[in-house]
Amino acid sequence: MEGPPVSAVPEIVVLSGGSSSEREVSLRSGRSVAAALPEARLVELPGDDLPGWLDGSRHVVLPVTHGGWGEDGRMQARLESRGIEFAGCGSEASALCMDKVRTKAVMRQAGVPAAPETGFDASAPPAAERLIALLGESLVIKPSDQGSSVGLLMPRGRAEVASALASLKSGRWMAEPRLVGRELSIGVLDGEPLGLVEIVPLSGVYDFTTKYTKGASEYRYPAEVPPAVGAAAAEAAARLFRACGCRDFARADLILESDGRFHFLEINTLPGMTETSLLPKSASCKGVDYPGLVRRMVAPALSRFHRRAAR
């Protein structure tokens, strides 16, 4: 039995929203993307479910659903099961990259420099003394399966570390040393690294509020780093993208220490696309403007749609 005829020109559907803690940022991303792609239909999801009318024979999805169900592979698996082509990483790579502890293991296997970490559940956190012995007294504690700046804690010393651990109510968490250095980010588009962006938070900490408040950080792009360091970081970002099974686009974050060594922190499969977001800045370093970036983000999914239609 034949399925419905496949449209020669699919409608692009931009999905934003959902119920994660990053919902408001996702809505902003969706509006920005839709403004750059006027032929697309913007859908602001009220919760964690796909619209029933989405049809793989007529639609291609460009998701900007940050965090939770929209980014951790569950939405991607649902799209795959319904035969709907979509931009960005598939379900397996999305699930992997959402788990920072698993991603760190892949980094090491791929030879990408990564700081040590300890993962744990909030219901059974390690003792403060043990964490300090393993990782040092100045730590970063954050959810292991949320956005990079969600729930961020930066305790120093036994009393602060113990207090931070006691404040955790639920979920999976990780601790890692607080590295001192320059905060950098780099996009990857179609497997190719873009430009390095340096983030200079005026408060000194690049947390969730600082990240999404206009004027709370300075951005320098392309970042001024020695050419050899920049080339090595770009190559490592592309290698990490491949090792994690990513496709289409992603953004990797790293710390550059004063001695020129860098350590990657994570790779983000559905990076923000707001007016303060890092991926558009990274793309601009290579001469790709915002509308051009959006079109290049969705182009591979359109190609996959047309290849399937031709079969």
| Candidates 18, 67, 187, 212; catalytic one | 212
State the Rg of the chain over Cα.
20
Of these residues, 17, 88, 195, 272, which one is catalytic? 272
Annotation marks residue 176 as catalytic: no
Q: Are residues 139 and 176 in contact, defined by beta-carbon separation less than 8 angstroms?
A: yes
Q: Which of these is catalytic: 16, 17, 20, 22?
A: 22
Distance between CA atoms of residues 71 and 88, nearest Å:
10
Which residue among the candidates 26, 32, 148, 217 is catalytic per the annotation? 148
Task: Catalytic residue, from 266, 277, 282, 284: name it.
Answer: 266
Q: How many helices (H) and strands (E) does the chain have?
A: 10, 12
26, 144, 268, 284: the active-site residue: 268
28 is catalytic: no
The two tokens of residue 50 are: 């796909």
Query: Which residue in the list 251, 277, 282, 284 is annotated as catalytic?
Result: 251
3-state secondary structure at position 169: coil
Instruction: State the catalytic residue, choosing from 71, 217, 253, 282.
Output: 253
Q: In terms of residues, how long is the chain?
A: 311
Task: Clarify whether 26 is annotated catalytic.
Answer: no
Residue 207 annotated among the catalytic residues of the structure? no
Mark whether 71 is an active-site residue: no
**Residue whose tokens read 């990053």:** 22
- Are β-strands 172-177 and 217-220 bridged in parallel, bridged antiparallel, or unpaired? unpaired
Q: Is 22 a catalytic residue?
A: yes
CB-based contacts of 125-128 (< 8 A; 24+ apart in sequence): 125/165, 125/168, 125/173, 126/165, 126/175, 128/158, 128/161, 128/162, 128/165
156 part of the active site: no
Q: Is 219 a catalytic residue?
A: no
What residues are annotated to the active site?
Answer: 22, 148, 212, 251, 253, 266, 268, 272
